[in-house]
Structure 1
């Protein structure tokens, strides 16, 4: 894309490791995308613009496909106005394709599909189109069909414009108008002439069923509709982001075939920022539309166009020359370079030193970023991925400044970990600094320090995720002993504990003070607090001897790492509060979160735990105390409650269970199924024939789906031998991660390497019986 847009003179190749957006050494070594990368370019090129038209700025975010890096995709979702889903025409719709499609559905992102690798042996455009309908539950609108010369994929035919595009081996495109195309096809592939007309008719027919405007045009003019009419209809059809309709394009990016028509489609069909609905933001009063909230604030300030800007940090990277760069998307207003910004997520001010626009591998300093713009800020000292940045007039109310947050992506729980033991104090300090920076860039990487054992624990989303992190640590030249990658188990509370009270009466950080509170732990799914619970029932459940009025209770709740921490501060009615309630709640919660990092049984993190902390001012308030006192009190009261629960055998173990899609030949499917069930603790849920569509909710009648034939469907060719007659089956199973770590290698002897495995975290399940004894 960048090459054709004129942003780079070099035509990169991910297999050669020289693409612009895949810049990590391991990305180039493995030929895959590991982390998202953002860049901007203009399309069409100035020389190709029609009189009166201007080139559009496209902000491109390249995201990975591997399941270990799903957080890289999820955290970019709220930033997108539109998306191009790239499919492998040999493999069709894969498990991660369905996962990413579902995420885009959640954020209502308009999408188009690019069926890639049509030059590969075994590629099938027809099967890919059928897969879109059967697996993604989207009506495919075929906008281009592959141009086959015998068995060779040489270009694409645009059925809307009725023109053909052919590419040479050097990437040069030749355009064939309608007459020239007919002449070329008569000598190469006569059947494509009729196929082009049939594809156009099917496209218009499908649009008429979902778009009234084009249906009226069709009633008057038949299929002889203008290019502009059809394009506007497609744009309307996908604008709601429901994903019920998907324009489909074809190509082979390795040979640079089909990329330019895809860029035209991005401009023609995907919306601009101005055309997207207002996003929802979280405030202290709940979830609201951002534009409504800003209009309200502007009215209060008596300024129709108050100088308010809202942006989201969707990625943080460490640049060797510029330090930490925070990539932001502006949702409202204009973000000025020299302006102090309020980080509403961390409640701190930030001020960028430099604002840049990234154009391919170049960084250009810019004075501001307008709404919809994407750029990089250098000099933000604390900003993390997912933070919200706000600029407001000085007179703005604290509600807007303090509470507006754009919804960040939910960080999935870690499933693997590795221990790292530095060999000296110098290397220990270097390692800690490196881990701080890496977790700031990628919040799905977590780390903890075990002072007693003298090592660090690094947790991630899978084996490859940790391998990439370990590879990134090499640049720091840290001398350390790295353990083996292991499964990240969790601990859980089995039943409700008795109330545990803790009193802290000693100086903390050199400051005197005395604090106390009570904590109760229970399973998060125990449903011990129904919505209709009365105040007296709540008092009895929490072990309180009084609770007369709801005005006496200040309640705060936070969810972190699969746990819920509730804090209830009980104070007399009309009594002036002698401390800041928000500050006390936050510090008690932070202390509890720290305690939950290490369970009492095996030292694994706690998960699925609901904590009720009560601070009763009548018996727990002894005068002013520092925030650190409350944090320490929250830590010790929860830790003591967990230890007591462990002594009473009320702590269980949880293990990650993966949702596995395993594709293998039919001849070994029963052997694989038995192996999964008997030796590896798995449960095979269903078996699918990969050559047939799937059924289920939202099923599309595949007989009504138009999919152009592949060239080898009606005659014998080399491709028949390549495709073979082996029937491939997909086994859908749930298997503990422990049994899947080396399963790919184990499976090779059974399938002779003719298999593929896709897996993602499904849930954490309680470990019992022999499996628990083994742990």
Structure 2
């Protein structure tokens, strides 16, 4: 029986995960020569832009075999601007190799990734790369991993001749490994500890406990090595084979899979990457898609020995490339949904926004089409079209993503674009409770509908909840659905134009005019309520309730950690103040000072650019999104509206009349 393992390679940018992928493929015999990121000839960085920049932008799948285990290896981006690619992959993984640099150590993105892996309980091995580089460390790196990632680690051996091309990794013998195993394993197994105290524990039992607890993401074996020289890679492959759990594969069960990537083929056709969790999907099968649509699979490829090979079907446990599903999108379910924690967002959403415009006005339509297509491949590219101003805004994680988007539009779509300055993507939260109601057939309500809504604040992070205080049977369900859908759409732009979140909207009043007609005539919509009446009235009632409640604008904030020479502290503090950073703690560690605090997301790039000067190039800055904070009084930013502006009743009704032709 062939076993499957869907393995992710994750790391902070430049830790060497793409180089490790190349070395793994070479060691198991899939490729004859190890590709180089610098030379632009690696197997997984297949985009021209990836080869030019030397960074991974899109996740890529390759496969290899270890004995009876087939490994589908997914190489993911390390730069935080492309965290959305990692987001989509996490839900389809059986295990992960988290790469840490022996020189740079535990970096900001490494910490973000590890916290998420622990929360999702994905089995994880840690590979400390670059032991052949000058400045490589051993004990200090283990201490940093224990302090900043997790204390539940098991060093599987020791490196030697660090910082030289002769650097090697020597696995611990049974006697040397035993003491490293006992403490972390006994912390999760009281019987193991009791047996050790009473009679001692055999190495075989400790090893079995290591396999079991690694598979449950309770402990994390640590390997050292070098992707450049191959040191330690054979031992890592053995660890992948022994310690990470193979995929559960019920090929006869009900069909269930998840789409984690969508790309376009040479002819522009959609190609979906799907991990199958149960059942078997075959060519010519018809599958239900979202919004009541249906698709027919016209071709399937699966991964085998580094290549995608055409097959008639893809079975549970495998990853398949699917053709023919024109309406499919990332995150779609194939067959039955999985009752698992794989859904939902694992990382913070984009916190920046910029307006993009074509260099040539004639390219406006082509730009919108290109951005729409790119948004299919990356759902977190939030497009916001302002018809009045003829502008398109896109949401971003950072400046590098903006540069890549600009290059992609030029190279792949032939559209040269210009960007405005990047601005923070704020949110609004209600300050208190507000309510409003408009009744059917009572002025000034021009709609055949009664809608009453109350807005209440909700706990931070709870999102938007819609509730009913009226009987569900008091009017047709379609009208309630029209109100709820319109409430959620309207909350995309609050009193200041930002998305409103963390609130409960309750429908307090409802009413409608039943289907009527004049004598001997058909249905007359001028006498009878339709869904359009509820969709038209709801924004006016909701914004009135929100105005009564009041709202506060919040801007995204990073938590930062800055390490710099202690004698530069006097120059660093004014720089932080200019960037509106607020240090929370400052401590001296030998000749270095470490500052931790909060910083507006929009200022992080400037701080990173300006830091080398006052710190003599030795400052190290780590940033990660932490929370939203109220914008300072007197400086509340307004975002231009792109809706019909229900804040201005006269303008709204005029715009609505023009749109629907009333």
Aligned pair count reads 602
- The alignment status of 1:268 with 2:242, answered yes or no, reads yes
Aligned to 1:441: 377
1:456 Cα deviation from its structure 2 partner: 0.6
Structure 2: how far apart are the matches of 1:502 and 1:488?
A: 36
1:115 Cα deviation from its structure 2 partner: 0.4
After superposition, residues 351-430 of structure 1 pair within 5 angstroms as: 351-359=296-304, 362-390=307-335, 407-409=343-345, 412-422=348-358, 427-430=363-366
1:476 Cα deviation from its structure 2 partner: 0.8
Aligned to 1:144: 157
- The alignment status of 1:642 with 2:557, answered yes or no, reads no
Aligned to 2:566: 666
SS at match of 1:70: helix
1:409 Cα deviation from its structure 2 partner: 3.2
Aligned to 2:486: 591
Structure 2: how far apart are the matches of 1:442 and 1:135?
A: 30
Aligned to 1:607: 501
Aligned to 1:745: 609
1:694-736 Cα distance to aligned partner (Å, 9 max, x none):
xxxxxxxxxxxxxxxxxxxxxxxxxxxxxxxx73333221111
Select the residue among 436, 454, 458 that pairs with 1:525.
Answer: 458
1:750 Cα deviation from its structure 2 partner: 0.8
- The alignment status of 1:318 with 2:264, answered yes or no, reads yes
Select the residue among 443, 465, 472 that pairs with 1:564.
Answer: 465
Structure 1: how far apart are the matches of 2:599 and 2:303?
A: 43
After superposition, residues 162-173 of structure 1 pair within 5 angstroms as: none
Aligned to 1:683: 582
After superposition, residues 68-467 of structure 1 pair within 5 angstroms as: 68-148=81-161, 153-160=166-173, 199-206=176-183, 209=186, 225=203, 231-242=207-218, 245-274=219-248, 308-321=254-267, 323-343=269-289, 346-359=291-304, 362-390=307-335, 407-409=343-345, 412-422=348-358, 427-467=363-403
1:73-97 Cα distance to aligned partner (Å, 9 max, x none):
2322221111111111122222221
SS at match of 1:653: strand
Q: 1:39 to 1:687 in 2, by over 3 A?
A: farther
Aligned to 2:658: none
After superposition, residues 651-730 of structure 1 pair within 5 angstroms as: 651-669=551-569, 671-676=571-576, 678-687=577-586, 727-730=591-594
Structure 1: how far apart are the matches of 2:83 and 2:456?
A: 28
- Is contact 2:447–2:536 with CA below 8 Å preserved after alignment? no
Structure 2: how far apart are the matches of 1:496 and 1:215?
A: 55
1:627-668 Cα distance to aligned partner (Å, 9 max, x none):
x9636733652256426755x793432211111122222222
1:112 Cα deviation from its structure 2 partner: 0.9
Aligned to 2:6: none
Structure 2: how far apart are the matches of 1:264 and 1:256?
A: 14
After superposition, residues 24-43 of structure 1 pair within 5 angstroms as: 24-43=47-66
Structure 2: how far apart are the matches of 1:125 and 1:590?
A: 56
1:114 Cα deviation from its structure 2 partner: 0.2
Q: 1:3 to 1:639 in 2, by over 3 A?
A: farther
1:597-653 Cα distance to aligned partner (Å, 9 max, x none):
33343x333333433345624x46557989x9636733652256426755x793432
- Is contact 2:430–2:551 with CA below 8 Å preserved after alignment? yes
Q: 1:751 to 1:637 in 2, by over 3 A?
A: same
- Is contact 1:420–1:458 with CA below 8 Å preserved after alignment? yes
Structure 2: how far apart are the matches of 1:388 and 1:569?
A: 34
1:53-110 Cα distance to aligned partner (Å, 9 max, x none):
xx31001111222222223223222211111111111222222212111111121111
1:207 Cα deviation from its structure 2 partner: 6.9
Aligned to 2:16: none
Select the residue among 735, 753, 767 that pairs with 2:631.
Answer: 767
- The alignment status of 1:516 with 2:449, answered yes or no, reads yes
SS at match of 1:593: helix
1:449 Cα deviation from its structure 2 partner: 0.8
1:239-294 Cα distance to aligned partner (Å, 9 max, x none):
2223xx2211111112332222211211110001139xxxxxxxxxxxxxxx9xxx
SS at match of 1:21: coil
1:682 Cα deviation from its structure 2 partner: 2.5
Q: 1:464 to 1:611 in 2, by over 3 A?
A: farther
What is the RMSD computed on CA atoms of the aligned residues?
A: 3.8
- Is contact 2:258–2:334 with CA below 8 Å preserved after alignment? yes
1:149 Cα deviation from its structure 2 partner: 7.6
Aligned to 2:432: 495
- Is contact 1:67–1:759 with CA below 8 Å preserved after alignment? no
Structure 2: how far apart are the matches of 1:658 and 1:61?
A: 29
Q: 1:265 to 1:633 in 2, by over 3 A?
A: same
Structure 1: how far apart are the matches of 2:83 and 2:132?
A: 28
Structure 1: how far apart are the matches of 2:246 and 2:598?
A: 41
Structure scoring higher RCO (CA < 8 A, sep ≥ 6) equals 1
Q: 1:667 to 1:265 in 2, by over 3 A?
A: same
Structure 2: how far apart are the matches of 1:774 and 1:369?
A: 50
- Is contact 2:604–2:623 with CA below 8 Å preserved after alignment? no
Structure 1: how far apart are the matches of 2:281 and 2:437?
A: 49
> TM-score with structure 1 length normalisation?
0.69
Structure 1: how far apart are the matches of 2:381 and 2:98?
A: 26
SS at match of 2:499: coil
Structure 2: how far apart are the matches of 1:268 and 1:361?
A: 21
Aligned to 1:476: 413
Structure 2: how far apart are the matches of 1:773 and 1:427?
A: 30
1:447 Cα deviation from its structure 2 partner: 0.4
1:315 Cα deviation from its structure 2 partner: 1.7
1:347 Cα deviation from its structure 2 partner: 4.1
SS at match of 2:489: helix
1:345-387 Cα distance to aligned partner (Å, 9 max, x none):
5443222211112457632111222221111112212222211
SS at match of 1:685: strand
SS at match of 2:432: coil
1:217 Cα deviation from its structure 2 partner: 9.9
Q: 5+ residue gaps in structure 1?
A: 45-54, 162-196, 276-290, 292-304, 392-399, 506-512, 528-558, 692-725
Select the residue among 13, 24, 28 that pairs with 2:36.
Answer: 13
- Is contact 2:385–2:393 with CA below 8 Å preserved after alignment? yes
